[in-house]
Structure 1
Amino acid sequence: MTLDSPLHLIEALRRGQPVVLVDGEDDGGDGMLLQAAEFIDDTALNFFAREARGLICLALTDARCQELGLKPMTDSPRGEGKGFMVSIEAAQGISTGISAADRARTVQVATNPASGPADLVSPGHIFPLRALPGGVMSRAGHAEAACDLARLAGLQPAALIAGILDEEGENARGETLRAFAQRHDLRMGGIAELIHHRILHEGTIARSGEYRIDTRHGPFRVCAYHDAFKDVVHLALVRGEVNPAQPVLVRVQAVETFRDLLAGEPPRGPQQWSLDRSLARIAAEGCGVLVLLAQQESAAAILDQLSHGLHLQAPNFPQRTLGVGAQILRDLGVHQMRLMSFPAPYKAVSGFDLEVVEFVPFTPAQEA
């Protein structure tokens, strides 16, 4: 499926036009209708409701969500659902809140730099989506891409997005999306291409040092990476020489107290790769990369794990770690991955010049 370049999308958004954004590697990717928030009026919002027909959301940066005092829709400290904020409504200037004019008013208030928490009420008819700091370089998601594109267009980093549904009410894909874009004379681009664009023009991590460490599984080369957005250091433990032309055994994970320090197992379902198990498998093969992403676990997250056990995150967990981990793997010369993970969809992974050629789930027999 031929896609327009990110520059074409950026120029269309700068002119106030909506665009179609695809998150997949092929015809299986979902499509979103997207328009910079600064141009949203009742006509634009009505177009979203009538033509796209999916849930209408407002993508905002994490910083803007904090300025407005927006709270997550779910109290769970885990999972992708925490990107949804509690729905909002403009505190003044609307009637029922559901009309196109009322919802456009809410978008205008939420994106007005002069607005604060007192200018909004909850619940409402607009659903804010919080984008991670770093945009698509942190997570290859629609909210991150929407804010990135608006910012690159010289506009406020905020955009209205809605899923595009086909005639049967399912997510439109492939040629159905292409027909939608052509019917409305819209540019159509992909998140993978946006990632490529940002890699060429912007950097979010930098290698800050290289060291040797001796573990109970033998020596590893440790590469440290400074994350400019979060001001943290991520680590890559490398065994052997990475050959860019050969598939490489890879594990990407954030360190978690329950799994990695307490060696806890999920209460049901298959066991998972832990820090120790991953190092052991890589050492046994003689070549591989373990990427450890820095994260500060909240007290609520640790208590949730202790209370309920380790919840399996596939297929959502990969998108939480994709961006930063992929940048590190790309820097190390990895292109094809034998990924130590349960099978799961990795959207826009080609934007980092990466390809998953095999999933390697953990099985208890590997510890025998």
Structure 2
Amino acid sequence: MSSTHPDVDAVEAARAAFARGEPVLIHDAADREGEVDIVYPAAAVDPDAVSRLRNDAGGLICVALSDAVAETWELPFLADALEHPATEAAHLDYDDRSSFSLPVNHRETFTGITDDDRALTIRELGRAADAAAEGAFGADEFASSFRSPGHVTLLRGAPGLLADRQGHTELGLALADAADREPAVVVCEMVDGDTGEARTPADARAYAEREGLVYVEGRDLLTRLD
């Protein structure tokens, strides 16, 4: 049942769906990016999930990692890793800084861009993040398993999650934590195929209803998960 039904608690429905490995649609805020992302637990992603993200979302497919995992793997913010004038004095109208880190492929992929390849990279990132959270997958293991540049962009979550930042990166990671999932989530913006603009919350709700998925507002996650 979709959370658009009035009797369903959207936050609890999102938590339960995520615990089962199902995607959730999250709208951040009208005064932020104003976008709806499809969000998956990373370890649950298969080629069909990548196909959904490509065809039904259409934005950039990224994997958000907790700050602790990013630190364990010694992942930089991309802007800090590049020495190029384009990275200087970067400013975002909706945030203090970008959470982008390295783009990677799993070393067992071929080109890295196919649904099978991206699903493998994403799924293995999820498994590796789970192991890293237990102290069993460090920076050396990460470098042995993944290569950069690649076709799956990594995002670094803020250290205090929702207390520090309220982007889809943190909203997804907070939901994963509440659902007892690995500290790695896939986020992909929903883009309107006709206008090329961000899909409206109303359209995203309608999509969720058609597909039997959960839609939740970021403000509700902030209230319940912060």
Fold shared by both chains (TM-score > 0.5): yes
In the other structure, the counterpart of 1:159 is 185
Q: Secondary structure at the match of 1:95?
A: coil
Q: What is the CA distance between 1:43 and its match in structure 2?
A: 1.6
> Does the CA contact (< 8 Å) of 2:26 and 2:216 recur in 1?
yes
1:68 equivalent in alignment to 2:95: no
Q: What is the CA distance between 1:87 and its match in structure 2?
A: 0.6
Partner AA of 1:103 in structure 2 = R
In the other structure, the counterpart of 1:150 is 176
Partner AA of 2:204 in structure 1 = L
In the other structure, the counterpart of 2:219 is 192
Distance 1:154 1:70 in 2: 23
Q: What is the CA distance between 1:25 and its match in structure 2?
A: 4.9
In the other structure, the counterpart of 2:54 is 49
Q: What is the CA distance between 1:156 and its match in structure 2?
A: 0.8
In the other structure, the counterpart of 1:83 is 99
Q: What is the CA distance between 1:81 and its match in structure 2?
A: 4.3
Deviations 1:31-52 (A, max 9, x none): 0000111201112112111111
Q: Secondary structure at the match of 1:148?
A: helix
In the other structure, the counterpart of 1:36 is 41
> Does the CA contact (< 8 Å) of 1:67 and 1:117 recur in 2?
no
Partner AA of 1:127 in structure 2 = T
Distance 2:183 2:170 in 1: 9
Deviations 1:141-161 (A, max 9, x none): 100011110111011121101
Deviations 1:63-116 (A, max 9, x none): 11122232222135865444100211112x211100011111111232322342
1:121 equivalent in alignment to 2:147: yes
Q: What is the CA distance between 1:183 and its match in structure 2?
A: 2.0
2:207 corresponds, among 162, 180, 192, to: 180
In the other structure, the counterpart of 2:26 is 21
Provide closer, same or farther for how the CA distance between residues 82 and 117 of structure 1 changes in structure 2, counting only shifts above 3 A: farther
Q: What is the CA distance between 1:198 and its match in structure 2?
A: 2.6
Distance 1:142 1:10 in 2: 15
> Does the CA contact (< 8 Å) of 1:67 and 1:116 recur in 2?
no
> Does the CA contact (< 8 Å) of 1:21 and 1:190 recur in 2?
yes
Give the TM-score normalised by structure 1.
0.50
Distance 1:180 1:10 in 2: 19
What is the percent sequence identity of the aligned residues?
30
Matches within 5 A, 1:131-142: 131-142=157-168
2:120 corresponds, among 101, 105, 110, to: 105
More helix by share: 2
Distance 2:124 2:22 in 1: 20
Rg (Cα) greater in structure: 1
> Does the CA contact (< 8 Å) of 1:150 and 1:157 recur in 2?
yes
Q: Secondary structure at the match of 1:133?
A: coil
> Does the CA contact (< 8 Å) of 1:61 and 1:132 recur in 2?
yes
Distance 1:50 1:174 in 2: 18
Give the TM-score normalised by structure 2.
0.80
Q: Secondary structure at the match of 2:74?
A: coil
Partner AA of 1:95 in structure 2 = F
Distance 1:16 1:110 in 2: 15
**Greater relative CO, 1 or 2 (CA 8 Å, sep 6+):** 2
Provide closer, same or farther for how the CA distance between residues 144 and 77 of structure 1 changes in structure 2, counting only shifts above 3 A: farther
Q: Secondary structure at the match of 1:20?
A: strand
Moved over 3 A (4+): 76-82
Deviations 1:159-178 (A, max 9, x none): 10100011222101132111
Unaligned runs of 5+ in 2: 81-87, 132-136
Distance 1:54 1:25 in 2: 18
